[in-house]
Amino acid sequence: MAGARTVQRLTGVCDADGGFRGELAYAIGRARGTAHCALSDLTHAGRRRRPEWDALLATLGVPFDVVYLNERDDAVAAASEGRVPCVLAHTDTGIVVLLGPDDLAAIGTSVLRFDQTMREAADAEALVLPLSGLAP
């Protein structure tokens, strides 16, 4: 693919703070209906990681880190500001927002649909992802 950029790693940014206080605040907000994170819904069922999420990560061929708002480095914070939850692609030329909040909300909890949507978004941005993955 001419002009394609190579994805070196992926970062998912959750719409919540990490740590005990952040997770407690998210749990209370979720119970009240005032907090929601589509990325967390995709990666976790309750407090446990989804086995199908782990299966996808094992096939990606690039690292995929999930971070909370208070764990972002400066570059990730700048790329994701006002667009969380999101998935960022770190390329050889910079960071690209691959999936935004609306994309993740539309995916729901289907890891297969996430994989397909992520690869379609990468193609649309002329990004090269490894050929492995769950998508047929």
pLDDT band at 20 (very low <50, low <70, confident <90, very high): low
How many whole angstroms separate alpha carbon 103 and alpha carbon 130? 21
Instruction: Find out whether 64 and 86 touch, Cβ atoms under 8 Å.
Output: no
Radius of gyration of the CA atoms of the chain, in A: 15
pLDDT band at 30 (very low <50, low <70, confident <90, very high): low
Domain residue spans in the chain? 5-128
Report whether pLDDT(91) > 80: yes
Report whether pLDDT(33) > 80: no
Please give the pLDDT value at position 16.
Answer: 77
Three-state DSSP at 127 gives: strand
Instruction: Find out whether 10 and 64 touch, Cβ atoms under 8 Å.
Output: yes
Instruction: Find out whether 134 and 112 touch, Cβ atoms under 8 Å.
Output: yes
Report whether pLDDT(8) > 90: yes
More confident residue, 46 or 114: 114
Please give the pLDDT value at position 25.
Answer: 55
Query: What is the CATH number that goes with domain 5-128?
Result: 3.40.30
